[in-house]
Amino acid sequence: MKHSVTLFAFLITLILLVSCRKSYDGYGDDGIIINKMTDLKVSPNFNFSSLKEITVDVILPYTVDYTLIKGRLDFYYLDAGFNEVIVQTVLTDNLGRFSGKLKVPGFLEGIYVRNLSGDYYIPFDNSLKATMEGGVINFGSYIDTIPPRDSLSLKSAQTAAIEAPIHNTRKPKLATTSNNLLENGDFTINDFGSISGWDSPMTVDGRWYETSYLANKISRVALAGEHVLKMAPYNNLNYGGVAQLIEASAGELLTFSIDSKSTNGNGVAWIYLIPRNSWGQSLDFFSRYIPQVSTNWTTYTISATMPAGTVSCQALIWNEFYSNRTVYFDKASVIGPAADDDNDGVTNEEDEYPNDPQRAYNLWYPDNTQFGTLAFEDNWPHTADYDLNDLVVGYRFKQVLNANTSLVEVFADFSIKAIGASYRNAFGFMMNIPAWSIQSVTGSSLTTGFIQTAANGTEAGQSQAVIFVTDDPKVQLPYPGSGEFVNTTPGSPYVEPDTMHLHIALQVPVSLSSIGYAPYNPFIVVNRNRGREIHLTDQLPTAFADNSFFGTVNDNSNPATGRYYKTSENLPWALDIPGPFDYPAENNEIIKGYLKFAPWAMSSGAEYSDWYLPNIAGYRDNTFIY
C-alpha cells in the first residue's frame, strides 16, 4: 500500500506479429474516453494473462525407430535480435508423436519447431492450433523411401507439407564437428572418384564418388571464400549425384545434414541415407525430399535408424535439374551413431544430462534467455492505484525433467526489482502438489520469523506445497538512506537488484500434468497479515488465506464460481508478464505509460498482445514509466 511522503519462407519475418489492431485507442467501445483504469470495459472472463494456449499434434519422421530413442521437440520463437527463445521442450512417445497444449506469448502467430529433421516454422490457425497438412504437423510428409530414379519423368511429384528450414546463414565449419562420419564434408579436397550410378559397388574410403550422369557437371568452386560443391546441367543430362560410403550397424541412428542453395530456385534435390548389407545390396532408402532448393543457404536433414543386416551406409546427394539451374552444396555431415550413455532413451546429443538417467532436459519459464516479471498492487481488497509497482519481481524457472517428462527438481531465480510500498510484503508461490512431496527447499530468505517452515522448507501446516522466496523484500532491496520506496521514483537513488537462487528437490518425480507449469501460483502476503494474500486473477488462495476478505470493499471475488482477485470492473491486483517489464513510475496508472494496455484488456487480449514489448512506435509514453 502507498503511504507516500510526498523482444522470408526460410527466415520468417520476426514472429512478433500481432492480430489486426483496429479499435479502442483511448476510447471505449461506447465512445467514452478512457482516462483511468476504472473506465475500462473488461470482460469478466478475461484473466489478464499475456499468454495464450495453443494445441500441437506432431508426428516425427517414420524413418526413426522411437522405441529405441525418444524424439525431442524444442518449440521456440525469434526475438528482435533473431535470438532463439525456447518456450517449451517435450519428448514424443514410442511412435514419434506428441499431442498436447503449450502456453506461448500472446503476440506469437506461429512458432518454430526443432527436431531430428530440422527447424521449421508452423503458423497458428484461427483456433490456436499449430497445424499443417490436415491438422497435423507431419515431419514425415517430405520423406522418400524409394530409390533415386534416373529419369526426371519417372520421379514422383510431391508437395512439401512442411515449411522450409529457417537457416539462411552459414553454419560453423565442419572442423568443429568432431563426430562427423563423412570425410571431406566441406569439399576442401578436390578428389572425386567415379561410379556408373548410385547403386554401384562402393568402399568405405572417405572419398566422394560422382555418378556418370554428372561427368563434367560437378566441380569444387570457391564461393564467398569457402570451397563448395557445384552441380550444373551439361548436354541436357539433368540428373545424378555424389556419394560416400561410411560404416554403420543395425539399430544405429544416423543423421545426414547438408547446406544447399540454388541460383534460381528451380528443380528438385534429395539427400539419401541408403543402408547396405555385407553383399553391398541396398536394404532401404531414407531421403529428405527438397522440392525447391532455396536461393539462400539452407540446412536440410534426414535421420534414420539402420535396419537389420546393415554394415555400411551410403550418403547420397542426388539432383535433378531444370533449365540452367546451378546448385551448390556444403558442410555435409553424418552424425552418429546416436549414443545414449545413461540408457534413459534420450540420445546424448538431445540429452542435457547425458550421464544422468534421472534427468534428461530442462523446461524453462518464461524461456531460456530472459526473466519474466510479476507486478503486484498491495491495497487489496481496496482499489489499487494501478502503478503496479508495490512489489515488482523478476523471475525465471528451470524445471528439470526426466525421460518420462516428469519433474525431478526446480531451479528458480528471483530478483526484487522495485518496492513502491511501505508495507512489508512477503512473496512466495504455491505448487499443485502435496507439501510432503517436496524433499527440500534451499535459497529462501526468511529473516523475520513471520513465516514458519517445515523440515523440508515448505510453509508449515500447509497441505499443498507453499514456498516463500522472501518474507521481507526490503532485505534484498533496501532503501539507500532514509525512505521507503525503492526504484519507483525518478530522481531517487537506484538500487541494483540482487538475484536469489532457489532449489526445490522432489521426493519422487511428478508428472507435469499434475504439477502444472511455472511460475505456478505466485502471491504476496500483505504487511505480515498472513491471511491477506494477493494472487493473480482467478488463482486459488492457499489454505491460510482469510476468506472473509473476499467480496468486501472493492473485491468482487466469488469462490463458489472460481472467481478470485477481481474488482467489479474485472480489474486485477497483479500481472504476470512473460518477459522484462518496465513498470510505471510512482503514482502513474499503467494505461498512462502503456498506451496499448487498455485496448488489450478491453479486447480480452485479442488486440495488442505485444503491448508490453519495448521499442514499438506508439506503444509507450516514457514520461510515466520508471
Indicate whether 356 belongs to any domain: no
Asked if residue 548 and residue 410 are part of one domain, the reply reads yes
Calculate the alpha carbon distances from 580 to 271, 352, 371, 612 in Å.
Answer: 43, 26, 6, 9
More confident residue, 87 or 554: 554
Is pLDDT at 10 greater than 70 in this prediction? no
In this predicted structure, what is the pLDDT of residue 75?
92
Radius of gyration of the chain (CA): 29
Asked if residue 587 and residue 547 are part of one domain, the reply reads no
Q: Which of 73, 104, 138 is the last residue of a domain?
A: 138
pLDDT tens, residue by residue, 136-153: 788 887 787 788 865 444
Indicate whether 357 belongs to any domain: no
pLDDT tens, residue by residue, 67-95: 888 888 999 998 888 888 888 888 899 99
Indicate whether 573 belongs to any domain: yes
Q: Which of 138, 170, 202 is the last residue of a domain?
A: 138
> Which range of residues forms the domain containing residue 75?
51-138
Cα–Cα distance for residue pair 562/573, rounded to 1 Å: 16
Specify the CATH number for the domain of residue 93.
2.60.40
Asked if residue 510 and residue 595 are part of one domain, the reply reads no
Asked if residue 427 and residue 487 are part of one domain, the reply reads yes
Q: Which DSSP state fits 213?
A: G
Range 94-120 average pLDDT: 88
Indicate whether 220 belongs to any domain: no
Instruction: Give me the count of residues in the chain.
Output: 626
pLDDT tens, residue by residue, 428-467: 999 999 999 999 999 999 999 999 999 999 999 999 999 9
Asked if residue 386 and residue 512 are part of one domain, the reply reads yes
Q: Which DSSP state fits 454?
A: -
Which residues, at least 6 apart from 544, have a Cβ–Cβ distance to it below 8 Å?
A: 459, 461, 462, 466, 530, 531, 533
Based on the number of CB atoms within 10 Å of its own CB, is 412 exposed (0-12), middle (13-18) or buried (19 or more)? buried
Indicate whether 600 belongs to any domain: yes
Is pLDDT at 104 greater than 60 in this prediction? yes
pLDDT tens, residue by residue, 244-275: 999 999 999 999 999 988 877 666 788 999 99
Range 459-482 average pLDDT: 93
More confident residue, 463 or 491: 463
Asked if residue 515 and residue 477 are part of one domain, the reply reads yes
In this predicted structure, what is the pLDDT of residue 192?
86
Asked if residue 68 and residue 38 are part of one domain, the reply reads no
Calculate the alpha carbon distances from 539 to 25, 47, 116, 373, 576 in Å.
Answer: 29, 9, 38, 17, 12
Asked if residue 524 and residue 430 are part of one domain, the reply reads yes
Look up residue 581 and give its three cell numbers.
Answer: 517489464
Range 325-344 average pLDDT: 88
Asked if residue 623 and residue 544 are part of one domain, the reply reads no
Indicate whether 169 belongs to any domain: no
Asked if residue 611 and residue 487 are part of one domain, the reply reads no
Range 326-347 average pLDDT: 88
Range 133-138 average pLDDT: 68
Q: Which of 118, 138, 158 is the last residue of a domain?
A: 138
Beta strand pairing status for 192-195 and 208-211? parallel
Indicate whether 490 belongs to any domain: yes
CB pairs under 8 A, 24+ apart, for 78-85?
A: 78/12, 78/14, 78/15, 78/112, 79/7, 79/16, 79/369, 80/7, 80/14, 80/16, 80/615, 82/14, 83/369, 84/112, 84/369, 85/7, 85/367, 85/368, 85/369, 85/370
In this predicted structure, what is the pLDDT of residue 291?
75
Is pLDDT at 483 greater than 90 in this prediction? no
Based on the number of CB atoms within 10 Å of its own CB, is 365 exposed (0-12), middle (13-18) or buried (19 or more)? buried
Indicate whether 346 belongs to any domain: no
More confident residue, 574 or 100: 574
In this predicted structure, what is the pLDDT of residue 499?
95
Range 95-100 average pLDDT: 91
Beta strand pairing status for 72-78 and 110-115? antiparallel
Asked if residue 477 and residue 434 are part of one domain, the reply reads yes
Which residues, at least 6 apart from 221, have a Cβ–Cβ distance to it below 8 Å?
A: 227, 228, 230, 328
Paired residues of 293 in beta bridges: none
Asked if residue 566 and residue 531 are part of one domain, the reply reads yes
Q: How many domains does one find in the chain?
A: 3
